[in-house]
Amino acid sequence: MPRGLARAWTRAVVETNVEMAGQPSWEPLPTRMERLHRGVEPTAGRAPMMPDAEKAAVLLDDVAALGRALAELRRAGEEGGTAELQARIAVRQAVRDAWAEGIEHTVQLSTLADAGLPDTASLAAAGWEPVLLDAIDRSQGWGRPSKATAAV
């Protein structure tokens, strides 16, 4: 581990421990990262490299159906209502499930675009961060040119 990171961690933890000393139920944080590392157990698993085709089809159908429902509510002017909030949550969960199965972002985005959520605002309503959308565009060769291409 780089020493700069360890020093920054130690400095921040010492400042926090001094600031919080005496507060009810405060337990000082460890100043060494190794104790912190040992106290954490990862809970997430890796997404499969090749998604199961049948399960992927079902998950993408769910993403499309829920995306269509959200798009219809947005077109009907139901933005900000309880029904739209429930539709947003449902689409976000379907997208998470598809991603956990290993379905790529670009495939999910094209499914949502076909379902009636083609622009950044609609995709943001479906749980996609605009920064992530920009990064996906750049990785696919869309958007502004890369610095490496501009240097040539």
Q: What is the pLDDT of residues 113-136, one digit of tens each?
A: 899 988 888 888 888 887 777 777
User: Residue 64's pLDDT is what?
Assistant: 93
User: Residue 69's pLDDT is what?
Assistant: 92
Q: What is the pLDDT of residues 51-108, one digit of tens each?
A: 788 888 999 999 999 999 998 988 888 777 888 889 889 998 998 888 888 888 888 8
Identify residue 81 by its one-letter amino acid code: G
Q: Which long-range contacts (CB under 8 A, 24 or more apart) does 105-109 make?
A: 105/132, 105/136, 106/136, 106/140, 107/60, 108/60, 108/63, 109/133, 109/136
If you ran DSSP here, which 8-state letter would residue 81 be given?
S
Nearest alpha carbon to residue 126 among 138, 103, 109, 102: 109
User: Residue 27's pLDDT is what?
Assistant: 83
Write down the pTM of the prediction: 0.58
User: Residue 65's pLDDT is what?
Assistant: 95
User: Residue 66's pLDDT is what?
Assistant: 92
